[in-house]
Structure 1
């Protein structure tokens, strides 16, 4: 039996598949359509109603203040309302992700308006809600800073005194000689881009139901994207061994990265109450709590200078990235690292100087969000590319193709792109599909004769490193067993947050390799009883998460192939696994049902379970100069957007979008199409309307879905059928790479480029609200 790498290579060159690449319905679709799928609150209603403590959070009303005292009025204590503060935590009050700078419950001082300072719990929900309002918190206000540029240059006000600076983390890339590169430039473009926070606005707010066990442990049913991370954080807070903490992620009503950060903390708060009281505890965030408390997409200031020679080749870039990381570092260092490594876009740049800064401020902190640090930097890259093309008199697509990365080229970190680089092909195909040159001419002709309505078309290209950052180990793990009736049970730590990884892609991998039909595969997912598969983030659910499934199923396929070969008297190469049976390709009459083959396996001592583990190989990286191996591979996305702009009202409408993906093997085109459609809608929201509004003391003012505006179905443009370039990834299951984040990353840039084309203005800020558009054209 081959090792993991040889197993991955075995099916990479296959051209025919039974279910891979086909539009297969998800195994959970009927359950969800009928309303039978259980989310966190459903478990409470069905099993724990009337016997549970309701937990609510006491939030800071100051952006920066010392905590003097926290107490519960006597009349609430007499009603059996319970108060929990940092002093009640039996383990370690530390939940910092990248840096150990964050408590679960505020201790010593608060650092942003909305920080959780205490928990209250009661068997009566109304009493719990009243208690939140009546808990007495004494504060000593401190000076605060909301502007990251100000925070970078001041040491008299520190969000974290122990750090000695408000710069939480720095990154850098140094390649070639930037000054020499600019000296060879025929044109140089320089801009400062300002990009805003974005709220996840998932339909289901954060929720966790914790149940204490008689053995002194706790089980938590909660909305999170990495059960094993939740397990580690809960165990740390409670001072328990991991073996006494079980996490189950049920169906989750949207994540987008937000429940990767806040989900484990929600679980830890509910677990703390359950563990200390010996009673089940339920914590569900209100919409207002959710928007105030959980991390947001980073706000960024990006200073970008780039040059190109007279032939249209990029010569140098000089980039400074400043992220408003908020009160705590959280994932900020990894978000900044990813932004820095992607700062060239998918283009060849011989000379690069990039500096990144994650800066503390007294605002809600930044965190994981679909696109993870890459959306903002690709916005800057693609605006620069359009302006360079214009200055050179080149078509934007032509200019990009002159500089696009291809197989055998090097990135700005000096990494060789030795395979899986299909972006140029994708760009050409999307440009042909949308009739790029003809549409630009048609639109420009239309604009000559239309005074109020202006049209525009914009292209944007992006790349996104597959797997987690180079500094974080990444692996895949799964367990597959064949039951004695020939059905299959699959265990994976990947979570179902609506993307369909465990309910579709993983099932298809099993079906392809073992020949079972989807209705005979059961998936046990999102639980610490399954192997630690890593997080459901970074577009790794189907790709990286699926590797373990693939390897485990491949091991079983090899065992059953050897057995079937002996039973049927044919060669292993002649066997076909399909429709719950195994038969000879050359003589289909020779066949055996999978059920009977399993009986033979049991009788002959053939093991019917297997684990699949794969540790992604990652090369060396030198942080001092920002050179070396960054990611095992990249997925690429091309988006062309058409817009109409009403110059009287400033309203921008995206009318049509043409997407193209170079993301390895497409396991389920139907699922990928759904991901693209959702990403387009989210990108329209980010580019045109979504905006958090902060008060002068850092309070988020628009904490509901009336005032925080997200797209409706009327805002979603017509989306052309996606184009797929299957540039196979040698470590992906059947060559698959990540898909989930891709279409979102270049969407804002493509819209901004289209608006710029329509109006002849330089778009450097988001969102493009009507007020911003009117400002750009000088009417406001």
Structure 2
């Protein structure tokens, strides 16, 4: 193999004896400009560059959950002073189709509307006030249709179809068939069966959806927009406009939060702004109000999970039988992929010899489900981990002890029979966090404490989770980046990964380049989130660093190999005996024998050594049989263990999370400070999902609490003490420097961990989320009706 072969580069730097920058404390290169308020977000570009010359875009939303569009009357709106256009599906020059997994979704409603909040028209005016005024004057003739809001009802009905062309309200099905489930249950000493329910959650990012589109005189359009995949936003926009993708440019600046929501809605926001700009020849700016954002954009799926599991007297799982039902809402969007992930993770990170899992994504006339941190996994891990606690209780085993008897280890076979040949550190993570949290002692102490009469109860619970990294089964996934060394020795990196707070391009990618080339971090500039850079895939699925960084590593590694050969010639040293560090290249056993980095770069330019490189890496994947749900599911898995300590007020039903202990088995930790921040943020978001956040729908499926007054999210007062994470660095051979995913991890087991702690505190069976005060009082029999 060539020294510049991507596999050789990944293998070489995976096994380095030590690192100078990777794994060290590191200050993000964007920290100062964000702290000083100089960092620009989408709306800042509008204010700074085109305010006064752009059209404001306001959306017209459907008031009906299900209705035929019989007529559109625009004249009254167009007569408003300053209104320049009212755009409907009839004005789209390309294709009015933006469905992701299935071709079932228009950009602007056509034929009929399928949920309250669906976008019917776009009003463009010289001022925001005029756009709002005119949007209220767009008249739509609707013929209301019967509608379904409950997924169980929707599954059973054929007379009311959200999509007539589908012939059913079941949008997608999944399955796993492993071993002999009936035999597995016959061998079980104990069997536990429950129905679990989880709810919709809104992303509640600080920055709502926004996009600024600027057309030029040659039929091209540039859009600055809040999206998590600039190339997907470009492709959808080009399709809607009927243009070649090369005539559409998308730039994603800093994002004020994403969490998956701007992976789904971001491209549609970009397309709406671009559509108005293209049709009017004027810059166009759209920004969602908070109410619009909550009503329009996709949500975390609501679920019904029926779970039966058995274990033998030795404490080994024998079988599981699981049915997963997702409330998909009006459009499929990412639902097939979300359901698929939930299905393939339905065993939890445990060895299960016999399994039957069935999944259903079900259309309803509500806002549709979409990407959200954890992507279908928090709900199913909640069910798994409640089952594990209940099985342990029936067997008379400690919950941690029972888990360790079944935990995945190197050589284990997963639910889909995938062999885990390396990078499986979850057992070690569970053992370490159990010891650090004082699990055994606290479990005993709180059990005794809770026997006393009194208002307060204490509990401690554990949640263990796994999460497939990258895209699933045979779905292609790749990493791509360009690295260029300038003549003065500084380095420019081009990547499609975006910066939405996670720090992949502004921390981890800089560290990788600095590590490989020995360049001071301040001399590395990353150009991120633009279609002018290579398509690096979406910044989702915890792939920003672990996958997105592979291309950066390969490109920088190729340049290093070229320069190492050149430096070896200059110094008379074997290339493999050179160290790149602190702006020098020196002999490992004689640091005084060196060449300065800037001098080496000048020599390279003089000798014709190419100092730019593309780093493309296509992740190898195995075969998968969808008919039985068996085979290669994901290239790697990250693992997370969380122990939570709670206090419950039995008079008010209020649950307070006091302390959280996290442990990660997520490969190499490239940037510990960034990971710690991700863990803390995920813990708080997970607490919100578990205890507070709940969308309320009326009888027509309209969201009643579409604001931050009534949609309750945690404040600083609800943040518990989060211990420093424990890291088990189970390096992954195809990850950037051995990294796997981190961003989603700490959220996934939080609901289960808290629910198990509440169950321990009260001696009750928690089977639904959120765990509101009303639900706690209902569980304890204290709710007065």
Does TM, normalized by the shorter one, top 0.5? yes
CA distance in 2 between partners of 1:717 and 1:13 (Å): 38
Instruction: Describe how 1:540-559 pairs up with structure 2 within 5 A.
Output: 540-559=543-562
Map 1:40-79 to 2 at 5 A: 40-74=42-76, 76-77=78-79, 79=81
For 2:191 and 2:77, the matched residues in 1 are separated by 69
Indicate the residue corresponding to 1:688 in structure 2.
691
Find the counterpart in structure 2 of residue 267 from structure 1.
Answer: 270
1:29 matched residue in structure 2: 31
- 2:22 pairs, out of 14, 20, 34, with 20
1:673-721 Cα distance to aligned partner (Å, 9 max, x none)? 0000000000100000100000000000100011000000110100111
Tell me if structure 1 keeps the 8 A contact 2:76–2:138: no
What's the offset of the Cα at 1:72?
2.1
Q: Secondary structure at the match of 2:451?
A: helix
Residue 766 (1) aligns with residue 769 (2): yes
C-alpha deviations, 1:491-521, integer Å up to 9, x for none?
Answer: 0000000000000000000000000011000
Match of 1:289 in 2: 292
Aligned to 2:354: 351
Q: Secondary structure at the match of 1:763?
A: coil
Task: Please state how far the C-alpha of 1:570 moved relative to its aligned partner.
Answer: 1.5
Provide closer, same or farther for how the CA distance between residues 314 and 75 of structure 1 changes in structure 2, counting only shifts above 3 A: closer
- Rounded to whole Å, the distance in 1 between the matches of 2:478 and 2:651 is 53
Question: Are 1:438 and 2:441 matched, yes or no?
Answer: yes
Q: How does 1:260-659 map to 2 (within 5 A)?
A: 260-659=263-662
Match of 2:142 in 1: 139
* Pair 1:745-2:709 in alignment: no
Correspondence list, 1:227-266, <5 A? 227-266=230-269
Aligned to 2:169: 166
Instruction: Give the CA deviation at 1:585.
Output: 2.0
Q: TM-score, normalised by structure 2?
A: 0.99
Aligned to 2:724: 721
CA–CA separation in structure 2 for the residues paired with 1:59 and 1:712: 31
Mapped partners of 2:701, 2:384: distance in 1:
30
What CA deviation, in whole Å up to 9, does each residue of 1:648-690 have, x standing for no partner? 0000000000000000000011000000000000010000010
Q: Does 1:663 align with 2:666?
A: yes
Please, which runs of 5 or more residues in structure 1 have no aligned partner?
none
SS in 1 for 2:525: strand
| Offset of residue 574 of structure 1 | 2.1
Change (3 A) 1:271 1:75: closer
Runs (5+) with no aligned partner, structure 2: none
In structure 1, how many angstroms separate the alpha carbons of the residues matched to 2:30 and 2:76? 49
Of 692-701 and 577-586, more deviation after overlay is shown by 577-586
Residues 705-752 of structure 1: CA deviation (Å, up to 9, x unaligned): 110000001101001111000001000111100000000000010000
> CA RMSD of the aligned region, Å?
0.8
- In structure 2, what is the Cα distance between the partners aligned to 1:15 and 1:447? 50
Residue correspondence of structure 1 range 180-191 to structure 2 within 5 A: 180-191=183-194
How far apart are 1:76 and its partner, in Å? 3.9
Query: In 2 relative to 1, CA 203–75 (structure 1 residues): closer, same or farther, beyond 3 Å?
Result: closer
Distance (whole Å) between structure 2 residues aligned to residue 362 and residue 729 of structure 1? 42
**Per-residue deviation, residues 449-477 of structure 1 (Å, max 9, x unmatched):** 35110000000100000101124210000
1:75 CA drift (Å):
6.5
Q: 1:502 and 1:628 mapped to 2: Cα distance?
A: 33
Looking at structure 1, the residues matched to 314 and 473 of structure 2 have their Cα atoms a distance apart, in angstroms, of 35
**Which digits, 9 at most, give the CA deviation of each residue in 1:219-271, with x for residues without a partner?**
00000000000000000000000000000000000000000000000000000
CA distance in 2, matches of 1:74, 1:183: 71
TM-score (norm: length of structure 1)? 0.99
Deviation at 1:15, TM superposition (A): 3.0
Tell me, in whole angstroms, the C-alpha distance in 1 between the residues paired with 2:719 and 2:598.
Answer: 48
Alpha carbons of 1:51 and 1:641: their partners in 2 closer, same or farther (altered >3 Å)? Answer: same
1-structure distance, mates of 2:73, 2:127? 19
> How far 1:79 sits from its partner (Å)?
2.0
The CA distance in 2 between the partners of 1:752 and 1:147, in whole Å, is 25
**1:58-94 deviation digits (Å, cap 9, x = unpaired):** 0000000000112224474252422100000000000
Equivalent pairs counted in the alignment come to: 780
